[in-house]
Amino acid sequence: MVRVTNTANGRQVDVRINDRGPFIDGRVIDVSVRAARQLDLMRPGTASVKLTVLRLADVVASSAYAVQVGAFENQRNAEALKRRLEKQYAGVMIQRVSDEKTLYRVRIGLPNIDAANDVAAKLQKQDFKPVVVRLN
């Protein structure tokens, strides 16, 4: 959770960061349409902002590894898989990665390699093709 402050007008909104990016030089955060309205960013589209960390997500902050369960070009497909996985696993996240095209990686954050390998093995039994990745 971070507080985003528009430095031009002082307006603030608290937001939850749910992916990485933006991947455009000079930009530090993309916000939802709702947050942009609260910050009065709809007309200009961009602005100078100040970020204040309010709270780190417990799972993400303690995750050294992740099990990537899928990667999608369609964000809705990634969100559907995330909802499905959240019924069984904590720490499910979507990581947005932009290069030539945007991909949405669905990952489960885990504290160590043993936990990651255990989750990957369970997912393989459910016909997924998981990949264990180191986050740091």
Structural element, H or E, at residue 12: strand 12-15
25 and 47 part of one domain: yes
Return the SS3 of 87.
coil
Q: Are residues 46 and 76 in the same domain?
A: no
Per-residue pLDDT of the chain (136 residues; tens, 9 = 90+): 889 999 999 999 998 887 666 777 778 888 889 999 999 998 888 899 998 888 766 555 567 899 999 999 999 999 999 999 999 998 899 988 877 788 999 999 988 999 999 999 999 999 999 999 998 6
How far apart CA 70 and CA 95 sit, in angstroms, is 11
Do both 30 and 74 map to the same domain?
no
Same-domain pairing of 65 and 128: yes
Structural domain for 14, as ranges? 2-53
